[in-house]
Amino acid sequence: MKRVAIVQSNYIPWKGYFDLIGSVDEFILYDDVQYTNNDWRNRNLIKTPQGLHWLTVPVRISGRFQQLIHETEIAGSHWTKGHWKSLQLNYQRTPFFAAYESELRHFYMEQEFSHLSVLNRTFICWVMEKLGIRTHLSSSQNYVLEGDRNQRLVNLCRQAGATEYISGPAAREYLDETLFAQSGIHVTWFDYSNYPPYPQKWGAFEHGVTVLDLLFNMGPSSSRYLKSGCIKDYDTPISPTPPGSDHA
C-alpha cells in the first residue's frame, strides 16, 4: 500500500501542509500547473502585535496566460532583508527563535534563489527536517504528464505506484473519484480541522499562519501539534533541489 499526495509548492506553508506531507509515503510537488499571482505560492502570513501580516515574494509575470509555477522567476533579492527583519522583529522573543535563527538567516541573507519553485522546495525540505518528516519528496517534473486535470493526477499516482490518493478538501469541486477507482486508486479526503492550539504570541490564536510560527513557539515538540505524528523512517533523503533541475 502506498499513499500519495500531489500539491503545488507554497512559500513557508502553514502546519496543515506539513501534516499532509507527514501523512503520505510520497509527496509530489505539482509545479507543472499555471502560476496564480498573490496566492499561497509566493506568500504567507505571520503574527504581529498589529495583527496578521503578509510576507510576499515578488515574482516576474511574463504576461503569458500559461506561465507555470516552476517557470516563475523571483523578481530580485531586495525582499529577503524585509522578510528576515519581519521574522526577527515579531518572533525573536519566542522560546525557540534562537534555535533556528542561524539557518534561516542563511536562507534569507546569504543564499540566492532565481525561481520560486526552488525557494519553496528549499524551505519545505528544511521544515520537514525540523519536524522529523521522512516522507519522500518528489516533483511532477520527474514524471510524464498526460491528459486533462483529473487524468494527469491519476497518471501521476499510477507512475508513483500509489494505491491511495490523499487530497485536500478543496478538490472536491472537480476531482473525479471514478477515474481513480478505475485505476485501483482509493481517494481519501484530508481533514484540516481540530488542530490543537499551542502557546502563541499576539492575541487570539491563529491556525492559518506559516509553520514557522509553530516552530518558533514550540521547537522540538512542534510535531505533537500535527495529527499525522510526523515521524517516518524512509531511506530516501530529503533533497532541496529536484533531480535534473537547472535552476540556481
Say if residues 47 and 216 touch (Cβ distance below 8 Å): no
For 35-81, how does the pLDDT look when each residue is reduced to its tens digit (9 = 90+)? 998 899 999 999 999 999 999 999 999 876 679 999 999 999 999 99
pLDDT reading at 240 higher than 70? no
pLDDT, residue 245, reads 34
Q: Taking residues 156-166, what's their average pLDDT?
A: 98
Percent of the chain with pLDDT over 90: 87
pTM flag (> 0.75)? yes
pLDDT, residue 229, reads 63
pLDDT, residue 232, reads 40
Residue in the structure block whose three cell numbers are 519553485: 117
- Write a three-state SS string for the chain: CCEEEEECCCCCCEHHHHHHHHCCCEEEECCCCECCCCCCCCEEEEEECCEEEEEECCECCCCCCCCEHHHCEECCCCHHHHHHHHHHHHHCCCCCHHHHHHHHHHHHHHCCCCEHHHHHHHHHHHHHHHHCCCCEEEEHHHCCCCCCHHHHHHHHHHHHCCCEEEECHHHHHCCCHHHHHHCCCEEEECCCCCCCCCCCCCCCCCCCCEHHHHHHHHHHHHHHHCCCCCCCCCCCCCCCCCCCCCCC
Average pLDDT of the chain is 91
For 107-140, how does the pLDDT look when each residue is reduced to its tens digit (9 = 90+)? 999 999 999 999 999 999 999 999 999 999 999 9
